[in-house]
Amino acid sequence: MTFDRRLLIFIVFVLTIALALSEIARFGQSKNTQSLETRLDQAAHDADAALKAVITPEILTNAEPSVYMVVNNKKHYGSAFVLDREKGILVTAAHVAADIDLQDTDRTYSVINRHSKKPLRVRAREIHAGFDVFRRIVEDYQPIDPNSTIASPRSKRIIDIADDAALLFVDPIDPDTGENLLGPALPLASEATLNALAPGDPIAVIGYPIDTITDDIEEDSAAARVERGIISTMLSPIDVIESSGDVITQNLIVHRMATAPGNSGGPILNRNGEIIGISSHGHDSIHSNGDALAQRADVIHDMITPFREQDLLERIYIPDWRKRLAKWPRAEDILPYVFYRRYAEIDGEAAPRELTVGELKIIGKPPFNARTYSPDFGAPQRNFVLHADDLEAKKEGEEEKTKNSQRTSATEKPVFLIDNAGEYASYTLQLDKTENHVIFVFDYSMAWTSSGYCPLTIYSRQQGDTVMRSTRRLRMPSILLKASSDEETSDKFNIIVRRDNCDARSKEYLFGIVSWEPETTPETTQISLAPIGGLRILASFNRESARVENFLNCNVEPFRDEAMCEKAIKVLNFVPADSPEPID
């Protein structure tokens, strides 16, 4: 046998052994994987069996007929459960009840489930007083994240999850049969039981998640969903690091049971089938592991016990909320510094952009004057008209050229038309022309559809001007009104603020004016950017930076589409007094 042949046989033998070992290893790994999967399946089965042993299927089966879907014109709204069968009282979440407008004659609100088979009309509601009080306190404080930069401060978002409870009142009697259609009242856990709730306690939720329920709900088709789990922890509505826990103020139940929009208002039950909570919200933090929240049921005790609701608010909850909010800076204290640093120099040097809000040191009297207000928006409207009474209107019989060369007469007064739907607030400000002024606005929002704020737009015009300018839609828009020595220019300014119907439950926002002497203004060179799409751009070039910064907070780069950030609105129905020809 030649050497080459022996070598070939040896190589084949080695490869065969290697392949055999590989197959043995793969088989062992596959067996281990199957074993691991088997163990996981067994663990899940055991956990489910343990929960069933603690909260039996019978308890949940008996409770399910007492849980109802809240319906608005055959559309799913939320969940509710029976507290008093004879009086027709159900419990739901405050944010579900807050959306019920019983004055709207075009809508019918009712509760249904597959057991009653008939809709029971909602005739009244009562929302826990703390729900709106909590919102007002937080929106008035308007906390700012201390870890955000001065150049771009962020709001510290807090969601309206305090005292999220309400009562619904229905007529439970069937007019055809005289029968009470409501399911049995669910027992309410005692306050001692509620205060003893702890992580690891077994719980269950019943409700109507909207993920599998469509519109046009049939009266007898509403079947509730049941989930079991445990309490993960107990939290305060304003969750900050504390030196010690307080079982009274830490009244939010955190769990990881599968819930979805529509579960809100459903009951959280313990092993005895007692109500220990109201399903409230999913936790929408970007760091959340699928946590969900429920109101501990002491809020129900509040609403059914005379004088208790207001007493606990004033004596315990409001002081606790204010103490927790004080951990963060307030918008009205921070934002004047933010916008002064954006448009001016401090101590002869440009403010560093990376400086954080928490690092801002306020020592002595600031180099500016600041005034802040909390005005309200008006009712939503399709557009806004500003009457320019300072301009001269067209005279009777005066003709105007149109695009098709036709000439028509007009007698209307000069107006600026903002053709955008929204909520508007309009002001006429008389400002010292010898100073620089920054106008800024900020609208903190606790609406779940917002990001902690409502974007706003500022429209501005110095009286006498025939053009009104606007910022982009921003979370903190601002405009700079530069000092002027021209005696002929007006010291009055028209300022209009618009919001896109962002938060129906809140009308208030922050309006601020920051003023300072022009000597502290950084040296700038004005440049012009070519108009794009008919939009006019105002910008300045700061010698300390290679960046083009728009005076109206656009922060644009030259020759890019971002330059389309400001819209000039021309006056309508106006002709200059010294001009024989009218202009558009």
The CATH class, in words, for 60-128+163-325 is mainly beta
pLDDT tens readout for residues 300-332: 999 999 889 999 999 999 999 999 999 899 999
Structure tokens that stand for 7 in this block: 């070598």
Per-residue pLDDT, 242? 57
Domain residue ranges in the chain: 3-54, 60-128+163-325, 331-570
Q: How confident is the model at residue 42 (pLDDT cuts 50, 70, 90)?
A: low
H-helix or E-strand spanning residue 512: strand 510-516
Rounded Cα–Cα distance for residues 260 and 212 (Å): 10
Contact 276, 204 (CB under 8 A): no
pLDDT tens readout for residues 273-299: 999 999 988 765 555 566 788 999 999
Residue 179, CA distances (Å) to 63, 112, 283, 314 in order = 20, 15, 41, 42
Regarding predicted confidence, which is higher, 527 or 451? 451
Q: How confident is the model at residue 197 (pLDDT cuts 50, 70, 90)?
A: very high
Q: How confident is the model at residue 557 (pLDDT cuts 50, 70, 90)?
A: very low
Rounded Cα–Cα distance for residues 233 and 217 (Å): 36
Contact 296, 251 (CB under 8 A): yes
pLDDT tens readout for residues 497-510: 999 988 888 899 99
Q: Running DSSP on this structure, what letter comes out for residue 420?
A: -
For 428, the 3-state DSSP assignment is strand
Please state, as a whole number, how many other Cβ atoms lie within 10 Å of the Cβ of residue 456: 28
CA angle (532, 535, 540) in 5-degree steps? 90
**Residue indicated by tokens 């007469």:** 409
Contact 113, 217 (CB under 8 A): no
Which residues have CB under 8 Å from 551's CB, separation 6+?
Answer: 479, 480, 538, 539, 540
Rounded Cα–Cα distance for residues 455 and 449 (Å): 12
Rounded Cα–Cα distance for residues 404 and 17 (Å): 92
Structure tokens that stand for 391 in this block: 């301009």
Which residues have CB under 8 Å from 4's CB, separation 6+?
Answer: none
**Residue indicated by tokens 């939009």:** 535
**Residue indicated by tokens 């290893």:** 25
Per-residue pLDDT, 559? 36
Candidates 564, 387, 534, 584; CA nearest to 471 is 564
Crossing angle for the helix pair 318-325 and 129-141, to the nearest 10 degrees:
20
Q: How confident is the model at residue 549 (pLDDT cuts 50, 70, 90)?
A: very low
* Residue 278 β-bridge partners: 267, 295
